[in-house]
Structure 1
Amino acid sequence: MIGHSARTGWSEAELLSQVSVQITTHGKNGADITGRDLERVHIPVAKERAKVDPTGVGDGFRAGLLTGRTRG
């Protein structure tokens, strides 16, 4: 897994100074949500019903989560 530091060169604190919410997906280990005014939240993965191609799952998860957050 490549973390934010390897991609941006920023520490977690530096990254959070630029964004209000950070969502980090960890594949089969779920996701973490952190933010300036948020306590860290860990979201476990949903139970799989069938094995399929996982391409785009993390992006789809983030998109759905951010859409829900935007719409309240």
Structure 2
Amino acid sequence: MPEIFRVFGFRFLFYSNDHLPIHVHVRNSDGEARFSVNPVQLIDNRGMKPKDLKIAEGLIEENEDIIAQRWKEFFHQ
């Protein structure tokens, strides 16, 4: 499970068996959510609070290029 980065108690990662489209999993102490990257959009949420989802969404938007680059490097695309 490659971790992309960790900030404010959030872990941004993807699973080694993930599939297209490019998306990112976000974990914190409350749960996990999954977001598409382009456009940044919540796919599903398992326990994260609404305020944390907004923070995570903003961090994904700010780091969209890094996330996509790491995805392409890992999955050789």
Whether these two folds match at TM > 0.5 is no
Between Structure 1 and Structure 2, which shows a larger proportion of helix residues? Answer: 1
TM-score band by shorter chain is 0.3 to 0.5
Query: TM-score of the superposition, structure 2-length normalised?
Result: 0.31
Q: Which has the higher contact order (CA 8 A, sep 6+)?
A: 2
Query: What TM-score, normalized by structure 1, do the two folds share?
Result: 0.32
Whose radius of gyration is greater, 1 or 2?
1
